[in-house]
Amino acid sequence: MKGLLDALNEMSGLVDKIFEKTNNELENSNFEPTEKRIRLQNNLKNKPFVYGFRIHASSAAIPPHNDLFYNFLLIQNTVMQKLSYDMLLKQLVHFALLCICLFLLGCNMHTDPSTENEKKLITEISEARAKAFNEGNAAAIAIHFTEDALLMAPGKPAASGRAAVQTYYQSIFDDYTTQLESHYEEVEVSGNLAYGRGFAKVNLVSKKGGAPLFSTAKYLNILKKQPDGLWKTTHDIWNGNEQP
């Protein structure tokens, strides 16, 4: 909330100019005396509410919330409800609030170092899996899956569980020498869940002879952070780019 209050404090000078300009225009206007007096009173009546931003922000009228932007919207709604029917003033204040809103969003659009570290760990897992694939080590691949993981290979029923994942890869290594190039194109983390979207090139050379099998694919991994802090794959699905 402190950042919001600081931003609102910066707006005090702008608010002063708004009221001063409005008063000057009214004083020099051609309105009838009665109407001019009413407009001046309305303008002055609004002033305490605009300067009351900080009071509203810290009062019980606005419930506490960890989200700075959420609190800002509540303050904006409170203030706009307090303003009178003077549409010009409402538009000016609304514009000022919008500017502060954009400023706050810009200040909070920074990268969380902890999230970047988690993305790095997830990328390292992908690289370790690719290395194990090229070495023909099914167990070293399966260790990066949860006990109840799902492996959804194209053209096959889903393999359920870490043991089934290991069996699937071992069946490939029994028949082929493998070469894989794989990398994530996108990694996102949200709490204890994450996903990685990637691209892969696979070359399989039959141990019985024959022409190599080459393919490219796109894939999606869903991962979950375990109690020990390690990331494990819960779902792995991919499909080829080549026509059948």
The predicted-structure confidence for 182-222, as pLDDT tens digits, reads as follows 999 999 999 999 999 999 999 999 999 989 999 999 999 99
Q: Residue 58: what pLDDT? A: 41
Q: Would you place residue 243 in the very low, low, confident or very high pLDDT band (cuts 50, 70, 90)? A: confident
pTM to 2 decimal places: 0.57
**Token pair 């303008």: residue:** 43
Query: For residue 189, how many C-alpha atoms fall within 13 Å in the half-sphere facing its CB?
Result: 18
Instruction: Report CA torsion sign: 173, 176, 179, 184.
Output: negative
Rounded CA-CA distance 81/96 in Å is: 16
40-81: pLDDT as tens digits: 556 555 544 444 444 344 443 434 444 555 555 555 555 555
Domains defined for the chain, CATH in brackets: 2-108 (no CATH), 113-240 (3.10.450.50)
How many Cβ atoms are within 10 Å of 202's Cβ, its own excluded?
A: 19
3-state secondary structure of 240: strand
